[in-house]
A and B are shown apart, each in its own frame.
Chain A
Amino acid sequence: MSGFRTLLYKEVLRFWKVSFQTVAAPVLTALLYLLIFSHVLDAQVQVHNVRYAAFLIPGLVMMSVLQNAFANSSSSLIQSKVMGSVIFILLPPISYVEFFLAYVVAAMLRGLMVGLGVLVVTGWFASLSFVAPGWILVFAIIGGGIMGSLGMIAGIWADKFDQLSGFQNFLIMPLTMLSGVFYSIHSLPVFWQRVSHFNPVFYMIDGFRFGFFGVSDVAPATSLAVVAVSFLVVALTTLALLRSGYKLRY
């Protein structure tokens, strides 16, 4: 497994060397969301009997985990494909499973690092509770894994940066923004509530938030089941792509 260890180290070092862009910038973005939305809504709105700012923070944390996990694996792959440096990992005796694990774990780590950063800087603006920290961790880790894996699929599939940004802007962004980060889906019309139940990201956010307040739109065990199955599907798809050499080995 030394191929895995080195590849993981390389992937972490890669984002850490540009951490201003890959960690600090998304933390600032999340902070700006919180400042604006809580300024407008905190006094008027309560969700699940918590003030809006406190409700919003876990959503922002999880959204940051997910978006950054996706960004990490996808941008690393597309960059090395476009630059041609992907051959440095295709020439050595690294198995496709090691390849998968290294990229997904690195993506999770970046997601968790950004998530923790968002939690630390936004935590000052509301009183948060941590009713079930186990759920918080489980959803953050599996959610990061799903997005890291999805990022691999996007990075492998895309030949150009604009294809990847299409994937990011037209799939990942809507899925995360419309997943209940900013609202409880119970506030939506019935039709959109039903639609939201087909969005796996909704279960990630909802289960994650349950860990903080102990209340959620859906039972956390149900969310966990949906999230776990989603991870399995995405992971197996990624592994199948890597095994076939799709767009990597011609």
Chain B
Amino acid sequence: MGVAVSIQQLVKYFGSLRALDGVSLEIAEGEFFGLLGPNGAGKTTLISCLAGLVRPDQGQLSVMGYDVHGDYREARRRLGVVPQELVFDPFFSVRETLRIQSGYFGIRNNDAWIDEILENLDLTAKANVNMRRLSGGMKRRVLVAQALVHKPPVIVLDEPTAGVDVELRQGLWQFVQRLNREGHTVILTTHYLEEAEALCGRIAMLKQGRVVALDTTSNLLARVPGHTLNLRLANAASLPLALRARATQNEGCWIFRLAGFDEIEHLLAEIRVAGGVIEDLRLTQADLEDVFVAVMQGAEAREQAVSR
């Protein structure tokens, strides 16, 4: 497997703000890669650098082996970007938009592929409708279609499901997963961590312009061991004080972090002895959200230690 995207020691300043602080990443061909981080972590700046929309102050970037700056024509031909903002050109219909976008990449008579994209994104009925008359979700689909007109081997989706209904989200992911199976490399940024967990094979977490975690999704999940027990008692006050100290409360539920299953037995016994009646009980595994919180808190603690 070759390298689809290579990012080396990328630094970008906006005024005095160091938006990217020496980011290095390599993404292999065919990967479904997640880029996560809180707002302002530098995800969009990183993607914009890759797309040539933002010029980095230092560092090297390449797409499928082509330098993003020096060999920009070849690099851009191999990259499809779905931007985060819901942008559109109000003068044109959906089909005109896609034909024009194909032409920018030097592709003429692209209607067969355009029809296929429209079909897959459930846009066929809107093909001749002006962009202005589409709903937000429909405009988002057109943005995805625009990124795909030139069949780029690397597809970048910057928060593609923000404000999109469940049905489209499902349809979009099926389509993107199919493209990924067919060999396209997919890079995804999202705020929906369950999406990243379900889709991405590998994930980088960014904070304040730095990569604070970079691993396979399964390894990241293994970082937060154990399970979580959610309990709802018929009488919330009946939880013994000793147990309360170990739990956190959320919407009437008591949440316990467990290192092993044997803890459950003791816990339930103590509640029974105290006269507690269990109304609901759920056992869940740690998810990406737990990992995300742990990584971000860890990064913060390290920063504080360094600044001391």
Q: Which residues of A approach B to under 8 Å, CB–CB?
A: 2-3, 5-7, 9-10, 13-14, 17-18, 80, 83-85, 87-95, 245, 249-250
- Flag if A92 contacts B104 (CB, 8 Å): yes
- Flag if A249 contacts B88 (CB, 8 Å): no
Q: B141-158 interface mask toward A, CB cutoff 8 Å, 1 = contact, 0 = none?
A: 000001000100000000
Whole-angstrom distance from the CB of B152 to the nearest CB of chain A?
A: 10
Instruction: Output the nearest chain A residue to B88 by Cβ-Cβ distance.
Output: A85
Additional A-B contacts beyond A3-B104, A91-B51, A91-B81 (19; CB < 8 A): A2-B103, A2-B108, A3-B105, A6-B100, A6-B103, A6-B104, A18-B91, A83-B88, A83-B90, A84-B87, A85-B89, A87-B87, A88-B101, A89-B104, A92-B104, A249-B52, A250-B14, A250-B48, A250-B54
Q: When chains A and B are docked, how far (Å) is the Cα of A83 from the Cα of B73?
A: 25
Instruction: Output the nearest chain B residue to A79 by Cβ-Cβ distance.
Output: B90
- CB-defined contacts of B146 to chain A, threshold 8 Å: 88
Q: When chains A and B are docked, how far (Å) is the Cα of A22 from the Cα of B54?
A: 33
**Looking at chain B, what size class is its interface with the partner chain?**
20 to 34
- CB-defined contacts of B14 to chain A, threshold 8 Å: 250
- CB-defined contacts of A89 to chain B, threshold 8 Å: 104
Q: When chains A and B are docked, how far (Å) is the Cα of A88 from the Cα of B146?
A: 9
Whole-angstrom distance from the CB of A48 to the nearest CB of chain B?
A: 43
- CB-defined contacts of A17 to chain B, threshold 8 Å: 91
- CB-defined contacts of A14 to chain B, threshold 8 Å: 91
Q: When chains A and B are docked, how far (Å) is the Cα of A2 from the Cα of B91?
A: 21
Q: When chains A and B are docked, how far (Å) is the Cα of A6 from the Cα of B104?
A: 6
B53 in contact (CB, < 8 A): yes
B77 in contact (CB, < 8 A): yes
Whole-angstrom distance from the CB of B149 to the nearest CB of chain A?
A: 10
Q: When chains A and B are docked, how far (Å) is the Cα of A91 from the Cα of B103?
A: 13
- Flag if A9 contacts B100 (CB, 8 Å): yes
B215 in contact (CB, < 8 A): no
List of 5 A-B pairs having minimum Cβ-Cβ separation, nearest first: A6-B103, A84-B87, A92-B104, A93-B73, A2-B106
| Known A5-B103, A94-B104; contact A13-B53, beta-carbon cutoff 8 A | no
| Known A7-B104, A17-B91, A250-B53; contact A92-B85, beta-carbon cutoff 8 A | no
Could you say which of A10, A83, A87 contacts B53, with CB atoms under 8 Å apart?
A87
- CB-defined contacts of B81 to chain A, threshold 8 Å: 87, 91
- Flag if A88 contacts B53 (CB, 8 Å): no
- CB-defined contacts of A2 to chain B, threshold 8 Å: 103, 106, 108
